Structure 1
């Protein structure tokens, strides 16, 4: 029997040496960052002292609690320009999209049962067997969406 389970299991094994090499490659910094850090790194200082002299945070907790020093211009140069983009979405765009079929189903349920979600869950038109909680969530999403305003007009 060629291609049995034993041969498949042996193919799945990972060579630990290759795994370590891949992990090391992922942790490397970009060349420009490495160059700047190497120039300013002092081997006589500890890791924490070096990071503070580079105005980098040693502990993420320091950054969260505001005890870290202010960043300098060097860090801004190292940050790629793409991270400075501001999203152009507005609050109107954030309303969830509801498909026309779902909107029709939910509007029919609301017109028949108002806010009685238990009756909606037991309705024969509830072919997806949604629970009362799921129906409540979908009804609230529908009421907050643009389609609800269109159905009211």
Structure 2
């Protein structure tokens, strides 16, 4: 074989390998680019989730602060507004005002925890009436401001 033929044979032998290597490299670069794009998308999603978590943490912090303010500054009107419509009677009382909330036994069971959730301190419970077993129960709570709230379970 002549030198020219040998060079041509060498070039032909190398060409497919060179093309295959370039194609393989292009495919690798394509997959790498796709993977980078996918990772960038996931990073963006995680950053949005992190921002949402930070926002929720701030909302929780504000809600806790608001709840603490409510506990300190809850007025009679705010307490009454939390009770069912037409179940509240406000009367004068020795130390200020009595809030008598008259509820059916079922409603009383549902609403009995409302004062405690508002941070009112439970003082006592007592039967009111003439001493019968069917007499309503009065639950007495005290607010941090010193106002007493009376939640009365009404027996029907």
Q: Tell whether the structures are fold-level matches, with TM greater than 0.5.
A: no
Q: Give the TM-score taking structure 2 as reference length.
A: 0.21
Higher helix share: 1
Question: Over alpha carbons, which structure has the higher Rg?
Answer: 2
Normalising by structure 1, we get a TM-score of 0.21
Higher relative contact order (CA closer than 8 Å, sequence separation 6+): 2
